[in-house]
Amino acid sequence: MCWLQAQTALALGVALDQEGVCTAAGGWYIQVLPLVSDETLECLERNIAALPSTTDLMAQGVTPEQLTGTRTSPPSGYRCPLREDEKGAR
């Protein structure tokens, strides 16, 4: 068996109210691509270290888009690029 180790970062957070009821939960996972430059990796490490608590972010209602500065869902009006005959084959 061959094991591959990849540089990754993972953060999970769960916010509870006074009664122990979950009010928010979420997290993120990052795995760097092969051949990433040392400079990019160092920048990523600095940015991750500077992030506030994931639990605090979830409790504040921070969205994935706000956290990353990108869109994480397809834009409205998105259409699957598969042709109609390929859809039926599934």
Q: What is the rounded CA–CA span in Å between residue 60 and residue 23?
A: 10
Q: Give the model confidence (pLDDT) of 11-44 as tens digits.
A: 999 999 999 999 988 888 989 888 889 999 899 8
pTM of the model: 0.62
Count of residues making up the chain: 90
Q: Is 20 strand, coil or helix?
A: coil
pLDDT in tens, 40-88: 989 989 988 998 898 998 888 888 778 777 665 555 565 666 655 555 5
Tokens coding 57: 């972010």
C-beta separation of 30 from 8 below 8 A: yes
Report the distance separating Cα 44 and Cα 47, nearest Å. Answer: 5
> How far is Cα 59 from Cα 13, in angstroms, rounded to an integer?
9
